[in-house]
Amino acid sequence: MEIIETQKSVLSRFLFSDTRFAWVWLLLRVYMGYEWFMAGWGKLGSDVWTGSGAGTAVKGFLMGALQKTVGAHPDVSGWYAYFIEYVAVPNSALFSYLVVYGEIVVGLALILGLFTGVSAFLGAFMNVNYLFAGTVSVNPLMLVVQVFLMCAWKTAGWLGLDRYFLRKSLSQR
């Protein structure tokens, strides 16, 4: 099977592959990283997130999401409600730790520009889950920015640690 390679447009190359545009990605990346880091940092050490009552906050959030599964136009779809009820709620303490440490790690990685594409993907994955649970807030904006960071993974971390880690890992191939 032959793979056909297509040409990128000039605009696409400039936005997603040109290191001259890395300053824009730096600003967006650090903004996203700060948002994630502060969200996780605010939860770290809280009794209801990582303390003796770990899982309490997540369980409350999830039970609220289950309330949004009724009506003519529910905010939470049936398949996600099933996941919430039978997977997430019974393991709310585990999910609590995953949320807190996931937000902190994604935030730090984006701020440092380390594994930027993967970090943006993991952040987008968290945003999508919050959206599936019926929470809008800043999640759509964060999701859009992270999709752009994933598209620009080659240059989004250029002014960060990816510049050194990616060069080193690509040269070992």
pLDDT at 5: 60
Nearest to 49 by CA among 131, 87, 104: 104
Q: Can you give the C-alpha Rg of the chain in angstroms?
A: 19
pTM of the model: 0.89
Nearest to 85 by CA among 101, 102, 65: 65
For 73, other C-beta atoms within 10 Å of its C-beta total 4
**pLDDT surpassing 90 at residue 7:** no
Alpha-carbon gap, residue 24 to 95, rounded angstroms: 33
**DSSP label of 67:** G
Amino acid identity of residue 77, one-letter, is S
Element (H, E) at 156: helix 153-156
Alpha-carbon gap, residue 124 to 84, rounded angstroms: 19
**pLDDT surpassing 80 at residue 143:** yes
- What is the mean pLDDT of the segment spanning 164-169? 75
Nearest to 160 by CA among 124, 117, 103: 117
Structure tokens at 79: 């398949």
Alpha-carbon gap, residue 98 to 129, rounded angstroms: 13
Give domain limits for the chain.
30-167
Confidence class for position 114, pLDDT limits 50, 70, 90: very high
Confidence class for position 76, pLDDT limits 50, 70, 90: very high
- What is the mean pLDDT of the segment spanning 96-117? 98
**DSSP label of 69:** G
Nearest to 31 by CA among 165, 163, 137, 148: 148
What percent of the chain is modeled with pLDDT above 70? Answer: 92
**DSSP label of 46:** -
